[in-house]
Chains A and B, each alone.
Chain A
Amino acid sequence: DIQMTQSPPSLSASVGDRVTITCRASQTIGNYLNWYQQRPGKAPKVLIFGASSLQSGVSPRFSGSGSGTDFTLSIISLQPEDFATYYCQQSYTTPYSFGQGTKLEIK
């Protein structure tokens, strides 16, 4: 099975800041890497697919990059609604797996 490791587990930032979250796969997954945002008590919402493609309707303040085993999610100009937990997910092969999450909190 492919293990996904995110860092950091938590992150404090202020409105207007730029943040970066990293995700590493235990083996190469090409660009089969997706990012989700989960607000408290809500279902996850897809932000980025294929490592760098923005899902329809998602703010362009979100961007993704990487390939192989190392990936990043960047958010610029943080807004209050961005404070949530972010998960990476590999869709290269089943069993599909998620990172453990990065909780983005307001400083």
Chain B
Amino acid sequence: GQNIDQPTEMTATEGAIVQINCTYQTSGFNGLFWYQQHAGEAPTFLSYNVLDGLEEKGRFSSFLSRSKGYSYLLLKELQMKDSASYLCAVLDSNYQLIWGAGTKLIIKP
């Protein structure tokens, strides 16, 4: 079966750096997405990786290793507004998105 694993919850301090990991086993691979979702709201797109390596976008970076079935989302200079759930999703061989359960990130002052 297809499976995506992420930690359920993480806690970090304002101004610090946090890395959220995602591992996947899917039928084919056509890219990996990270979405941010604040409580009670819709997910918003953060990043898309299809090739190995690091993609940097402001305070957020996303890394992919296809051979290891592994990705991480790195958040720098954490702000209170970064408190949210972070969803990892993989586009499989049929171009359908397989979703992880999400990682709830709690930022403390």
> Are A and B physically bound partners?
no
Query: Footprint of A on B, CB under 8 Å?
Result: none
